[in-house]
Structure 1
Amino acid sequence: MDIITMDHGSGGKKTYDLINNIFYKYFNNDILLQQGDSSILKNINERLAVTTDSFIIKPIFFPGGDIGKLSICGTVNDLAVVGAKPKYITVGFIIEEGLNIKTLKTIVKSMAKEAGEIGVKIIAGDTKVVERGSGDKIFINTTGIGIIEENHRLLGCNNIIKGDKVIINGTVGDHGMCIFNEREALGFDVDIRSDCSSLNELMKDILDVSDNIKVMRDPTRGGLGTTLNEITQTSNKSIVLNERDIPIKDEVNSMGEMLGFDPLYMANEGKVIVIVSDDDAKKVLEEMRKNPLGKDSKIIGEVIDDNRSRVYLKTKIAGTRILNMLEGELVPRIC
């Protein structure tokens, strides 16, 4: 069995072979193949968006994706929600000694496939190997670079005003519940798949039809509840959600009730919160529903101005409760 050894991190022949036979082979593009200590990017005169992220998910393969696909989707989505067109990604691998090289190839091919479908180039990278027991199979760090076109105004929480509508593009909590079920081998007879997806085309579509989108955010760790709290804290506005309107799969809801997990705080990897003016809300909603990743989009709430910077949830039994930020770690190693 071919496995990763400490020699693969030595900087010698095994490192060279690993880079050439896996990374250059599957991430093949003109910029990466400059093969310098840095990659040179030419003629970038537009506004740039830059993000960085690390992926330490356990397990590394799960229904709906793997750590490789997740690393590309997560980076692309962080660029897309600020209105940027994703262009370039760098990747750093921290690999534990003993990882099967076939497993590494599968992950790298998954990354190359997702990047190719998006049209983003992986332009630089690094590989480190740690001793057996010092890591957990593989960790991936990324940096993403995107371009914000001049005709797209900058999005931000300070643009939010009373009456703006809150839209989500589909069911929440799928990723978090999927990962927990796989990791703990709970044995639930349910078909819950991660929503791991790249949202750049969906974001482009709605930005093209409306100049009144105020802010977009992807509710990953901490879920919908925490992300909306971050928005209210920054904007100094409050948000009222209607529980009946928030899409949650029956399987996710049932598992949450049994385990004591609130799906509103479970992680997502293919969802976006869009806050848009009341005038354009229906138009944006219709456009989102044209995209397969937005077919279940719903308006779930609106912005109010009560000087409290809170998120309120109107419950199904006609009550109202405050939805605070998540405290503690609901499910660790989720992305």
Structure 2
Amino acid sequence: KVVDRGKGDGVYINTAGIGVIEHGLTIGPDAVEPGDVLLVSGDLGRHGIAIMAVREGLEFETTIESDSACVAGPVQQLLDAGVEVHCLRDLTRGGLASALVEIATASGRRIEIDEAAIPVRQDVRAACEILGLDPLYVANEGRFVAFVPERDAQRALSILRSDPLTEQASIIGSVSRKDDGLVTLRSAIGATRIVDMLSGEQLPRIC
């Protein structure tokens, strides 16, 4: 994806995937509806911090391992169970915050999330505090956010938690009836703030 200046003199192999859509759902920002519930598939921020620690030679009290994983299995389980998934997004570059801002902007819906409900491991949170990073913007490599109707939320959560890859899945917020395309976060102390896109890069590109 990223080639240094003057280093483009090599062989590049491009691939394309061909598949079959086995469901009748329209999954995307346009399908997001007021009342939808947001689920994240696991704890956030490990991949970005793990990569940064290796790159910069940082040592923490515990070893932080990447969350890299294939998310196709858990997603397929939701679809096979008949969960009406409205929107899905992987939480790679830019993390959860960037993904939600993009979805809110595209859908025109307000997304409200609860900081206390967002799973971040304590060692990752501590590393972010030391480095001056916000874990909501740190890259993940095996995490996604799903928007589902409220009636399907608990069933979807149970399905995800039954899979070892997504056993730390959590409900983190909902879609309000306000159509202003904003993302708001309720902090642990009860204050509410708007979540924006970062004006620059919080971390160097990983790939």
Same fold (TM over 0.5): yes
Judge conservation of contact 2:91–2:143 (CA < 8 Å) in 1: yes
Match of 1:304 in 2: 176
Question: Following the alignment from structure 2 to structure 1, what is the Cα–Cα distance between the partners of residues 99 and 179?
Answer: 19
Q: Summarize the alignment of residues 117-136 of structure 1 with structure 2, pairs less than 5 Å apart.
A: 134=7
- Give the Å deviation of 1:141: 5.3
Question: Following the alignment from structure 2 to structure 1, what is the Cα–Cα distance between the partners of residues 119 and 97?
Answer: 14
Question: Following the alignment from structure 2 to structure 1, what is the Cα–Cα distance between the partners of residues 204 and 29?
Answer: 28
Query: Quick check: which has more Rg, 1 or 2?
Result: 1
- Indicate the SS of the match to 1:147: coil
From 167, 171, 175, the equivalent of 1:295 is 167
Change (3 A) 1:216 1:182: same
Match of 2:63 in 1: 191
- Give the Å deviation of 1:139: 8.3
Change (3 A) 1:140 1:217: farther
From 17, 26, 40, the equivalent of 1:144 is 17
- Indicate the SS of the match to 1:270: coil
- Indicate the SS of the match to 1:201: helix
Match of 2:199 in 1: 327
Two-structure CA RMSD over aligned residues (Å): 2.2
Question: Following the alignment from structure 1 to structure 2, what is the Cα–Cα distance between the partners of residues 144 and 320?
Answer: 42
Judge conservation of contact 1:215–1:274 (CA < 8 Å) in 2: yes
- Give the Å deviation of 1:213: 1.0
Change (3 A) 1:141 1:179: farther
**Is it true that 1:175 corresponds to 2:11 in the alignment?**
no
Question: Following the alignment from structure 1 to structure 2, what is the Cα–Cα distance between the partners of residues 176 and 144?
Answer: 26
Judge conservation of contact 2:97–2:195 (CA < 8 Å) in 1: yes
- Which whole-Å deviations, capped at 9, do the CAs of 1:84-126 have from their partners, x for residues lacking one? xxxxxxxxxx9x9xxxxxxxxxxxxxxxxxxxxxxxxxxxxxx
- Give the Å deviation of 1:271: 0.2
- Give the Å deviation of 1:140: 7.2
From 168, 189, 193, the equivalent of 1:317 is 189
Match of 1:249 in 2: 121
Judge conservation of contact 1:238–1:306 (CA < 8 Å) in 2: yes
Change (3 A) 1:268 1:148: same
* Counterpart residue identity of residue 45, structure 2: G
- Give the Å deviation of 1:211: 4.3
Higher strand share: 1
Match of 1:205 in 2: 77
Judge conservation of contact 2:83–2:156 (CA < 8 Å) in 1: no
Question: Following the alignment from structure 2 to structure 1, what is the Cα–Cα distance between the partners of residues 53 and 24?
Answer: 40
- Indicate the SS of the match to 1:240: strand
Gaps of 5+ in 1: 1-53, 57-93, 97-132
Question: Following the alignment from structure 2 to structure 1, what is the Cα–Cα distance between the partners of residues 202 and 16?
Answer: 26
Match of 1:12 in 2: none
- Indicate the SS of the match to 1:252: helix
Match of 1:283 in 2: 155
Number of equivalences: 206
- Which whole-Å deviations, capped at 9, do the CAs of 1:71-95 have from their partners, x for residues lacking one? xxxxxxxxxxxxxxxxxxxxxxx9x
* Counterpart residue identity of residue 120, structure 2: I
* Counterpart residue identity of residue 198, structure 2: L
**Is it true that 1:214 corresponds to 2:70 in the alignment?**
no
Question: Following the alignment from structure 1 to structure 2, what is the Cα–Cα distance between the partners of residues 303 and 141?
Answer: 38
